[in-house]
């Protein structure tokens, strides 16, 4: 079945550092890929998405590129802020069935 593997956390960075959170997936079809973020005390919300190979999703300075050849969707940000501290989930969605498969989440803490 489908699966998502995320870089284990927690990740602690200083403000303005470069962020990479690795995500690889296994899927039988051609899924859509997502990064969701969960800020402290809040629900999951979409950060960015890509629906086909070589697409780049971007939002709030975060980027991720759908790499079919390496089955990866790594999340990057050039300069993190304290307000980026949250749990980040990589997910894939079966285009036909709609259900999403999530990774276990990576906790990011950014220190001033």
Partner 1 sequence: GAGVSQSPRYKVAKRGQDVALRCDPISGHVSLFWYQQALGQGPEFLTYFQNEAQLDKSGLPSDRFFAERPEGSVSTLKIQRTQQEDSAVYLCASSPSSASGRYEQYFGPGTRLTVT
**Binding region for partner 1 (CB under 8 A):** 4, 31-32, 34, 36, 42-46, 49, 51, 89, 91, 93-105
Our CB check for partner 1 shows the closer of 3 and 12 to be: 3
Other beta carbons within 10 Å of 16: 11
**Smallest separation (angstroms) from partner 1 to the CB of 49:** 6
Our CB check for partner 1 shows the closer of 70 and 99 to be: 99
**Smallest separation (angstroms) from partner 1 to the CB of 14:** 25
């Amino acid at each position: 079945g489908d699966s998502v593997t995320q870089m284990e956390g927690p990740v602690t960075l200083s403000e303005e550092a470069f962020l990479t959170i690795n995500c690889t997936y296994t899927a039988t079809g051609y899924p859509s890929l997502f990064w969701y973020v969960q800020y402290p005390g809040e629900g999951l919300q979409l950060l960015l998405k890509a629906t086909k190979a070589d697409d780049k999703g971007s939002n709030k300075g975060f980027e991720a590129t759908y790499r079919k050849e390496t089955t990866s969707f790594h999340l990057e940000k050039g300069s993190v802020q304290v307000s980026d501290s949250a749990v980040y989930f990589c997910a894939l969605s079966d285009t036909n069935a709609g259900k999403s498969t999530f990774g276990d989440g990576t906790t990011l803490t950014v220190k001033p």
